[in-house]
Amino acid sequence: MKGIAVMGSTGSIGTQTLDIVTSHPDQFRVISLSAGRNFEMLVAQIERFRPLRVAFADPTRLDDLRRLFPNVDISADERSLTDCVIQPEVDIVVMGIVGFAALAPTLQAIRAGKTIALANKEALVVAGSLLRREISQSSAKVIPVDSEHNALFQLLEGRDRSHVSKLVLTASGGPLLRQTQLPLEDVTPAIAIKHPNWKMGPKISVDSATLMNKGLELIEAHFLFDTPENDIEVWVHPQSIVHGAIWLKDNSCLAQLSRPDMRLSIGFALKYPERLEAVIPRLSLRDMSQLEFLEPDVKRFPCLELARQALRLGPSHLIALNAANEVAVQRFLEGHILFPDIPGTIAKTLDRHTATRVEQIEDVFTIDRESRELAMRSASR
Ligand SMILES: NC(=O)c1ccc[n+]([C@@H]2O[C@H](COP(=O)([O-])OP(=O)(O)OC[C@H]3O[C@@H](n4cnc5c(N)ncnc54)[C@H](OP(=O)(O)O)[C@@H]3O)[C@@H](O)[C@H]2O)c1
């Protein structure tokens, strides 16, 4: 029986993790839950899973929650996320919190030597080198949940890395791939979050439409697999059946295929190094009958190139890139800026950013704060 902390339990990754727990009650037990603002769903989850500890980001509803569950340790202060991950009963931390907010609890989970099923990508983007250093000094293990990185993890496991020449991340192309006639100024939040293959939270859905998701993933792959930026290819693959591939030095190419269903990689991370039985349905031949692979359109969607640029420029530029993207996506979702202003805001923020040394985690928080202020000034109409 493994004890699990489900961080971001009310989100897409969190609810799919709880689906797996529900269907494997003899193998997993929920120790902690954490949510942002979704009070009703969190109440239902506490009733259903009876965790020992809960973190809730909305302090105004804390008393209501405590009244409903007097025997559960519930908090909303700065330490609440850390407390959820470091409990001795927790074996695996599923990090499904979106954005920069996942950095501090991810770091604490590493320091506590937990196994981390890492779905969040922003923490590695802003602090990849520092987190890698922390991992090397602890007994923590990181198993990537992001489907592309999970595919690469499976492909690289046990392989002599000197045989591998390049990594490949696939990208669905998002909701705008086939809408080439639609002016990008006319892309509304409703259009941008309507992903053709995956059901995900609003931020990653917009990232997917701008191709920034692939930019963040490229940076994530760089840190997870210690691979230079120019050895990571991106293929647009609208069917989302092939999730990742590797080129070997003799030009053999190996790929991982499965239905687009995050429960596969979540289940993989929860059970690693064993495997769960049939977590998702098998692919049929029909599913695989028309697989397409295309070059990404980096002119129409410049975010992927901005991410490559930031990675070449260094760690403080990565923090600026992520901060500007989080600010711009939020401003777009709230209707303050247009879709093309997202790459515009990021480009301006990167232009105005001066490279700074990133030696400790406090530096990441400082540069993030400053970059958000810079981005906010650019993301106004
Ligand atoms: N969804 C996917 O298929 C997928 C695939 C690969 C990678 N990922 C990555 O996984 C992460 C989560 O994605 P998602 O699609 O699951 O997002 P989501 O559906 O928006 O869920 C985000 C979760 O984080 C919580 N949260 C938000 N802000 C918080 C804060 N300041 N403090 C604590 N909790 C907070 C939310 O709580 P409330 O909803 O209660 O406010 C929710 O539980 C992202 O980094 C994403 O890039 C997701």
Render pLDDT for 126-180 as a digit per residue (tens, 0 to 9): 999 999 999 999 999 999 999 999 999 999 999 999 999 999 999 999 999 999 9
Which of 15, 95, 97, 122 to mutate for ligand 1's pocket (most ligand atoms within 8 Å of CB)?
A: 97
96 in contact with ligand 1, CB cutoff 6 A: yes
Taking residue 286's Cβ as centre, other Cβ atoms within 10 Å add up to 7
Q: What is the amino acid identity at position 201?
A: G
Q: Is 141 helix (H, G, I), strand (E, B) or coil?
A: strand
Q: What are the residue ranges in the chain where pLDDT is below 70?
A: 381
Residue-level pLDDT at 381: 62
Residue-level pLDDT at 195: 82
Residue-level pLDDT at 246: 98
Q: Which atom of ligand 1 is nearest to the CA of 202?
A: 20
To 5 degrees, how large is the angle CA 170–CA 230–CA 319?
A: 85
260 in contact with ligand 1, CB cutoff 6 A: no
Question: What is the model's pTM?
Answer: 0.97
Q: Which atom of ligand 1 is nearest to the CA of 216?
A: 47
Take atom 26 of ligand 1 and give the residue whose Cα is closest. Answer: 36
Which of 19, 81, 204 to mutate for ligand 1's pocket (most ligand atoms within 8 Å of CB)?
A: 204
Residue-level pLDDT at 2: 98
Specify whether the CB–CB gap between 85 and 105 falls below 8 A.
Answer: yes
Q: Which atom of ligand 1 is nearest to the CA of 121?
A: 45
> Among candidates 259, 252, 6, 239, which has minimal Cα distance to 151?
259
Taking residue 198's Cβ as centre, other Cβ atoms within 10 Å add up to 16
> How far is Cα 129 from Cα 309, in angstroms, rounded to an integer?
17
Q: Which atom of ligand 1 is nearest to the CA of 205?
A: 15
Q: Is 68 helix (H, G, I), strand (E, B) or coil?
A: helix
- What are the φ and ψ backbone dihedral angles of 123, each rounded to 5 degrees? -60, -45
Q: 360-363 long-range CB contacts below 8 Å, 24 or more apart?
A: 360/130, 361/103, 361/107, 361/127, 361/130, 363/316
Residue-level pLDDT at 119: 98
Take atom 28 of ligand 1 and give the residue whose Cα is closest. Answer: 36
Buried b (16+ CB within 10 A) or exposed e, 88-117: eebbbbbbbbbbbbbbbbbbbbbbbebbbb
> How far is Cα 119 from Cα 65, in angstroms, rounded to an integer?
27
Dist. CA 227 → ligand 1 center (Å) = 26
Residue-level pLDDT at 197: 85
| Beta strand 2-7 pairing with 28-35 | parallel
